[in-house]
Amino acid sequence: MRDDAEEAKTIFRRERLDEPLEIYSRFFGAFVPIFESIIDKLPNLSAAEPDPEVLAGMVRDADQRTALRYLTGPPISEDDLKTLAETTLSPAALRRDPDQARRVRDVVLHIIDPHRFPWVGQPREPAKHEREQAVVASAALVAARKVETARRKDAKDAQEAQVKELLRGLGFKEVPAREIALLDRAPAPGEFCGESKLGDTRADLVVRLGDKRVMAIECKASNSAVNSFKRVNHEAAGKAAKWLRAFGDRATVPSAVLSGVFNPGNLETAQQAGLSLFWAFRLQDLADFVASSKS
């Protein structure tokens, strides 16, 4: 296990170092003009009665809403902003109801980042260098988070695609996703489906093996040993425990395909909890297991 974890870490390092800066630069370039526009509107935001039309423009699409949330220090989530401002962040709602617009403004200004936007609380116009620094820092902050999110999604999507390709190569047929409250709703032997609700929680892939057991596969990528606990022990092993309680260990095979950096001790704990582990860099192990289950 430790040798495999070290090999996965080596692959992760190589891929991360080879990752082009173009991805980060693309996100950065997209948000620079958005923050330039928002900073120009901060005087209106600070007015006693903010123009609802200006607030509506700041939430008109996902990127605008992201930029608005990233004015705060630290950035506030969209759900938290909705809850604190008691609004849906709908442009139409903000135009229609000045009170909602005012509440959004009040939340943002109450926790606006004083290091990036020091002039807002004084109040005064920003110096040229302050404005430029605020734009660069804010765009960089968003770009870094966007890259992190894209990495996780790309790694997960790649894993799922590889596992599906492997299953097709073994003669399995992909069928539509579905809710599986009882195992007779699972795919038939020799079939699999994408993300589906299995019992009370979701599995990335559900496979009916040749011996009629249901194999639930989670695809997990981690960028640190600390993060690996969340990905494997909390998420994947937590689901495994639920599936084993609901369906039994004779009928289900909870499993996970891993890529990235993982703590070997955490992996051993997950295995002891009933989670079968396979490495994305050596999927032949998964192929051999699936093939061996044919009746």
**pLDDT tens digits, one per residue of 51-100:** 889 889 999 999 999 999 999 999 999 999 999 999 889 999 999 998 99
CB neighbourhood size of 287 (10 A): 16
Alpha-carbon span 165 to 194, nearest angstrom: 12
User: Is 131 contained in some domain?
Assistant: yes
Domain endpoint, select from 147, 179, 213? 147
pLDDT of residue 177 exceeding 90, the answer is yes
Total domain count, the chain: 2
CA angle 26, 28, 31 (to 5 degrees): 110
- Tell me the whole-structure pTM to 2 decimals: 0.73
- In this structure, the answer to whether residues 201 and 238 fall within a common structural domain is yes
User: Is 154 contained in some domain?
Assistant: no
Across the range 198-209, mean pLDDT stands at 97
199 φ/ψ angles, rounded to the nearest 5 degrees: 70, -125
- In this structure, the answer to whether residues 57 and 176 fall within a common structural domain is no
Nearest Cα to 290, choosing from 189, 176, 175, 185? 189
Residue 47's pLDDT band (cuts 50, 70, 90): confident
Q: pLDDT, tens digit, for every residue of 87-109?
A: 889 999 999 998 999 999 999 99
User: Is 219 contained in some domain?
Assistant: yes
CB 280 within 8 A of CB 241: no
pLDDT of residue 12 exceeding 90, the answer is no
- In this structure, the answer to whether residues 56 and 140 fall within a common structural domain is yes
User: What is the CATH number for 235?
Assistant: 3.40.1350
- In this structure, the answer to whether residues 191 and 261 fall within a common structural domain is yes
- In this structure, the answer to whether residues 196 and 248 fall within a common structural domain is yes
User: Is 2 contained in some domain?
Assistant: no
- In this structure, the answer to whether residues 116 and 37 fall within a common structural domain is yes
- In this structure, the answer to whether residues 237 and 135 fall within a common structural domain is no
Residue 51's domain spans which residues? Answer: 20-147
pLDDT of residue 295 exceeding 70, the answer is no
